[in-house]
Structure 1
Amino acid sequence: LLSRIGRSMRRRSTRAQERMGDLTAILHETITGARVVRAFGMERFEVDRFTRVNEAFYRAFVRMRRIALAARPFSEFALVVVAMAMLWFGGREIFTGHTLAPHQFVLFVTALLTTVSPTKSLAEVSANLQQGIAAATRLFELLDTTPEVQDRSGARALSPFREAIRYEGISFAYADGPPVLQDLSFEVRRGEVVALVGSSGAGKSTAMDLLPRFYDPSAGRITIDGVDLREARLDSIRAQLGIVTQETILFHDTVRNNIAYGLESASEEAVRAAAIAAHAHGFVQELPQGYSTMIGERGVKLSGGERQRLAIARALLKNPPLLLLDEATSALDLESERLVQDALERLMRDRTVIVIAHRLSTVQHADRIVVLEKGHVVAMGTHDQLLDQDGLYRRLYDLQFVA
């Protein structure tokens, strides 16, 4: 009986955990997107959506608790039935069969009574155990998920970057989707600034994401100094990269710990120097507790420009030989962009840089510009060379400046 109750308890507990996950996801979306919700007048819609999911969770939770609470009455009923049977059988043997002495029967009943409380508790323990198993199963499914990109057997540490990065015939598609990159080839030599430009959806960010091996290409290979990245250890690749993106990721921690992320042993002087170089020191000093100020989830207490400058300070402190910049100034106002652009120029100094930008003014001085369209390289050259061609780069330039 307990086994059947346990199996039912596990199924219903799993459903309740799933509904709780849905509820938590909606709460997170609604709270983090509160400004968009208000701007579109969707408060009532979000309240109704939350109510529907909350009711589904409530129903799943009630079903689960019904099973859990049913376990104790069932166990007590079973104990009563067993006790009645024992009393009937024992009494009969004493009065009719004379095969059981009265004092033996009393001892047996006393021993039986001492097991009543533990047996009833056993039903509750079983119910709680099934709830825990259901919750643990969901957790372990996540923890046991195999990463798509892993170190190969025999992978070796990548030597410090010396010569060039090469994309050689790269093709890539997400899951079962259409190709995002097709036969992509270009080179980035040490000390160069290479820009990737193109319309939205051209594959610029995907091409950049392949370098730190967030994904592996479907075909072709990427090499650093002739070493295929799939033959190198992930940690040794990423140790040589600094990344600054448009969507700045900061953590619910102090300013100091966000700048020194991944470099916990960094000195206060080094953190301060990185902040000064990134034009972040000024506004950090004005915070209530300076570098010890908690900045909130995703840096919510800071402006967009301030968050971006902290991200640049973090990259400066890491001091990587290779730098990846993905739309790093596209979401900023003019004053913030000026400060961030100046900080970026300091960050790019004496480094090898791959940069993505919609604003072509930020990449005009790049050593080489790679123009992408629908995952293909359609042109390559300096700013002046590409303007002389009547191609996509010229059209993008005219749209931004001539019009």
Structure 2
Amino acid sequence: MSSSPDFQRLVSLRTLPLIRVATAVLLALLAAILLTAAVITCTAAAVVLLTPQSPAALEIRSFIPRLQSPRSITLAAASAATACWLLHSLLTGFAKSVCESIAADIISRIRQHIHRKALRLEPADLTGTHADDAPRVFHTSAEGLERHITAWLTGLCTAAPLLLLTTAAAVIVARQVAIQTAVPVILTAILLRRERNRHLAAEQLLDDQVHRSRRQMVQTLGKARIVSGFGMEDLEHAQFELQLREYREKRQTLRLQQRRSRLAAWLLLTAAFGIPTLILALQLSAGFSVLACLALAPLLLILFQATSELAALPEHSSAGGELADEITRYLDRVPGVSQVAGAGFLNPLARTLTFDQICWESEDGRRILDGLDLRITLGERVALLSLQKLPARALASMIPRLIDPAAGRVLIDGRDIREGTLESLREEAIFVGGDDPVFDATVLENITCGRPDITRQQAVEAAKLVHADHFIRSLPRSYETALGEHGLQLDVGQRFRLSLARAAARQPALLVIEEPDAPLDADTKAMLDDAWQRLSDDRTILFLPSRLSTVKRCTRIVVIHNGQVAADGTHEQLVRSSEIYRHWEYQRFHPFREDRELN
């Protein structure tokens, strides 16, 4: 299994907190010493109890002259071994907790990078193609990576000291016999882990083939009408029998693979314990110390467990590497919008907004805007329309620079908006989406976004302007009501008016408003119609409308088709002169559309 460079970078000594890693290793080392002490204590007690007159037993008794009776020896050994085991478990748990905290800190930093990257990438995803990318890498990939980093660090920091100390203890007890018995134990532990990995990969492959064969047979059940209508029963039966036979053969192969894997695992386990047992038996018959044999047996068992844990490290490195690579690919994406060097303050719109030879392509290479020219003057209410939503939405998204044109320029009062800072541009050109979510905060914080320069009174006035104040005051705690996942849930119309209040509180010179696609009740429609009039008294507004009443109230309607402006005028003018506008209106509002918006 090959390891990813990104995973190795995450767990390298240059990036890991060395003091905490050393703490985990020290705790694991102390735990290993205690476990070894427990083994030696139990071994010594067994020698004294089983062979009380042997030289080893007499030597052990000389160290503890007060413990002569079998009962006192058993009680003392059990107490000491239990204490050592409990302390071992406690220290091992502490070491694992340190490793878990290290992995959690690494993932926290990664999630911070993902969050910052998402804030730059997601606004440009107009089609929603990558809508699931950020949540996937933030949750699924990062969580899986944390799990593998934790397992890798825990295995390295706890299993490695245990392996070294156990090996040293076994060599001290009986060097030659320890080497003879430890080698097969270590080799079989490694081979058993590799066999397990090979079996899982082969089983997954065969299982996929079985599922694929089953799907093919299920698909034939949906062809009954064609089979019966064209008299294809014999041919269909023959094909089904062939598929069924292939399915049974693959199932049989899968079961055979499982039996072989179990047999291989059984043989390896037999070798892991049978070979050392045989060696120890031969050594005993040749006069080898009983004390040494009793001490080596549990030490070899611990050695097998530690080797198995270390042999699993490449698996975690490989699986974690795949997740790290996925996260890295996301973080390496280049945002389509960035602030140019030397950008200065951009003044609010005072005369004209100009789109000059705008070109833009979607991710799949389709030319959405192709040399579009458009000029909008201060104070206009403009409806941007297109047969598909993307062209109009793409053009509107260029105003606050959620996306940039591939060619051409967007000018405010003759100045390219890319020459201004993003902060100054987005302070005066705000995009209000039709389904913008609320934040997990109070109503007031949702309007002010935590900005200290927007007072409560200004937030209330903005809410009144867009007819949001009434429903806000009807909430349990008025403007202090908590919203979001753990708070109160608002309906579509309420969320939209809250978004309008958020924008109005900043008093921008230019507003881009996308109306909700979801149906609205009559009261909400009436309030929005009045809000459009109030908002447009001292600013320029571009609408991406979903209601015909909004289109009719605009002073100007611009229809985009084939990447350019295909029609431009008022509703009355375009109904008479523009076929493409009539088609757009019919497509969305003709009386036979079941989901049409009644206006």
Task: Report TM bin, short chain.
Answer: 0.5 to 0.7
Which residue in the other structure is 2:235 paired with?
none
- Deviates further, 238-247 or 259-268: 259-268
- Preserved contact between residue 370 and residue 564 of structure 2 (Cα < 8 Å): yes
Question: Within the alignment, does 1:208 sit opposite 2:396 as a pair?
Answer: yes
Higher relative contact order (CA 8 A, sep 6+): 1
Deviations 1:189-243 (A, max 9, x none): 0111111112224511111011111111111111111111222211111111132
Deviations 1:61-85 (A, max 9, x none): 5897388347534422323444676
Map 1:176-325 onto structure 2 (within 5 A). 176-201=364-389, 203-261=391-449, 263-297=451-485, 301-325=489-513
Deviations 1:265-284 (A, max 9, x none): 32222222222222122221
Secondary structure, aligned partner of 1:397: helix
Secondary structure, aligned partner of 1:276: helix
Which residue in the other structure is 1:349 paired with?
537
Map 1:4-43 onto structure 2 (within 5 A). none
Residues 230, 204 of structure 1: CA spacing in aligned structure 2 closer, same or farther, 3 A cutoff? same
Secondary structure, aligned partner of 1:364: helix
What residue identity is the alignment partner of 1:334? A
Question: Within the alignment, does 1:382 sit opposite 2:570 as a pair?
Answer: yes
2 CA distance for matches of 1:144 and 1:397? Answer: 43
Which residue in the other structure is 2:80 paired with?
none
Identity of aligned residues (%): 30
- Preserved contact between residue 155 and residue 231 of structure 1 (Cα < 8 Å): yes
What residue identity is the alignment partner of 1:243? F
Question: Within the alignment, does 1:65 sit opposite 2:151 as a pair?
Answer: yes
Residues 351, 317 of structure 1: CA spacing in aligned structure 2 closer, same or farther, 3 A cutoff? same
- Preserved contact between residue 263 and residue 318 of structure 1 (Cα < 8 Å): no
2 CA distance for matches of 1:329 and 1:339? Answer: 17
Secondary structure, aligned partner of 2:338: coil
What residue identity is the alignment partner of 1:198? S
Which residue in the other structure is 2:163 paired with?
77
2 CA distance for matches of 1:330 and 1:250? Answer: 17
Residues 8, 75 of structure 1: CA spacing in aligned structure 2 closer, same or farther, 3 A cutoff? farther
Pick the aligned partner of 1:335 from 509, 513, 523. 523
1 CA distance for matches of 2:556 and 2:432? Answer: 20
Structure 2: runs of 5+ lacking an equivalent = 13-99, 112-138, 176-305, 593-599
- Preserved contact between residue 482 and residue 488 of structure 2 (Cα < 8 Å): no
Question: Within the alignment, does 1:172 sit opposite 2:360 as a pair?
Answer: yes
Please state how far the C-alpha of 1:327 moved relative to its aligned partner.
2.2
1 CA distance for matches of 2:414 and 2:149? Answer: 61
Map 1:104-115 onto structure 2 (within 5 A). none
Aligned CA RMSD, in angstroms, stands at: 4.1
- Deviates further, 239-248 or 327-336: 327-336
Please state how far the C-alpha of 1:374 moved relative to its aligned partner.
3.7
Map 1:368-379 onto structure 2 (within 5 A). 368-379=556-567
Task: Compare CA radii of gyration and give the structure with the larger one.
Answer: 2
- Deviates further, 221-230 or 328-337: 328-337
1 CA distance for matches of 2:167 and 2:590? Answer: 90
1 CA distance for matches of 2:509 and 2:146? Answer: 53
Secondary structure, aligned partner of 1:296: coil
- Preserved contact between residue 155 and residue 233 of structure 1 (Cα < 8 Å): yes
Q: Which 4+ stretches in 1 moved above 4 angstroms?
A: 6-11, 57-64, 82-89, 133-146
Secondary structure, aligned partner of 2:470: helix
Secondary structure, aligned partner of 1:177: coil
Residues 146, 396 of structure 1: CA spacing in aligned structure 2 closer, same or farther, 3 A cutoff? closer
Map 1:96-111 onto structure 2 (within 5 A). none
Please state how far the C-alpha of 1:354 moved relative to its aligned partner.
1.0
What residue identity is the alignment partner of 1:282? H
Which residue in the other structure is 1:42 paired with?
none
- Preserved contact between residue 358 and residue 373 of structure 2 (Cα < 8 Å): yes
The alignment's TM-score, normalised by the length of structure 2, stands at 0.47
1 CA distance for matches of 2:586 and 2:571? Answer: 13
Q: Which has the higher helix share?
A: 2
Secondary structure, aligned partner of 2:505: helix
Please state how far the C-alpha of 1:359 moved relative to its aligned partner.
2.5
The alignment's TM-score, normalised by the length of structure 1, stands at 0.68
Please state how far the C-alpha of 1:249 moved relative to its aligned partner.
2.5
